[in-house]
Structure 1
Amino acid sequence: MDGKALQDTALQRAEELPATTLYSFEPGWEAARVAGKWFMLLTEVPGRPVVIVKSRPGDAQALCEAYTDITPGYHMNKRHWITLAPGDSLDKKLVRELVTESYRLVVANLPKARRPVDPARFGTG
């Protein structure tokens, strides 16, 4: 998957998720938030478009070991965030799943009254 397709797929999925807002907070950085909390960042890391999403620590480590195009989160907590880079090991389905999981992780930490969806059920069916 090339860099444009990677970021386009991630942005498209983020826009489909309930109560998501997209914005640019500084040149070269775009973000997706739910209820004011980040769940995805897009930028370029030395000229390569990347997507940065939240992940459970154990899942993050396993994903980094299983996919050559997934590394610890760029400029983020390396245990809780991963970076998706262009390359042959990622496909659209996986990118969409990882964006959805990042969203669910953030929603699960919101107060129940602010949750736009039930994170335990959303995106699993």
Structure 2
Amino acid sequence: MDIEAFRTYCLGKNEVTEEFPFGPETLVFKVAGKMFALTGLDRPEFSVNLKCDPNYAMELRENFVEVQPGYHMNKIHWNTVHFEGSLPENLLIELIDHSYHLVVDSFSKSKRKELGI
């Protein structure tokens, strides 16, 4: 998955916006104002920081060299996923969805209903 496919996929999700809160070199995707994915645009290799359940994060890191503790993030709750490695696209999509749903699930039931997600 290249950066354009990643961007298109993220923006296709409900209530997602793209922002540059850390400067022009860091693209951030938020759902209803909360980050679920970010990527550096000034790096030679395409990688994405994604939120992840801590137990699942450990499992992924043990099984895939392309999944590392989150670069410049809370290493318990974030992974850096190298999108240019050998991970299959369906796993990359699953990891994006997992991150998105972790954030959405943290909202109250009434907020999710209000947002329609």
Same fold (TM over 0.5): yes
**Paired position in structure 2 for 1:30:** 27
Q: Does 1:81 align with 2:78?
A: yes
Unaligned runs of 5+ in 1: 118-125
**Which amino acid in 1 is paired with 2:9?**
R
Give the total of aligned pairs: 112
After TM superposition, list the pairs within 5 Å mapping 1:57-72 onto structure 2: 57-72=54-69
Question: What SS class does the counterpart of residue 32 from structure 1 fall into?
Answer: strand
The answer for the alignment partner of 1:112 in structure 2 is: 109
Runs of 4+ in 1 over 4 A off after TM superposition: none
Decide whether the 8 Å contact of 1:40 with 1:99 is kept in 2. yes
Q: Give CA-to-partner distance per residue, 1:64-119, whole Å, 9 cap, x none.
A: 1111111011111101000111212x1211111111110000011112222232xx
Q: 1:8 to 1:95 in 2, by over 3 A?
A: farther
Contact 2:25–2:42 (CA<8 Å) still a contact in 1?
no
Alpha-carbon distance in 2 for matches of 1:58, 1:80: 9
Matched, 1:15 2:11: yes
TM-score norm. by structure 2 comes to: 0.86
Q: RMSD of the alignment, in Å?
A: 1.6
Q: Which amino acid aligns with 1:12?
A: T
Deviations 1:18-54 (A, max 9, x none): 0101112212100110111000001158532211100
**Larger RCO of the pair (alpha carbons < 8 Å, separation 6+):** 1
Task: Tell me if 1:54 matches 2:54.
Answer: no
Q: Which amino acid aligns with 1:17?
A: K
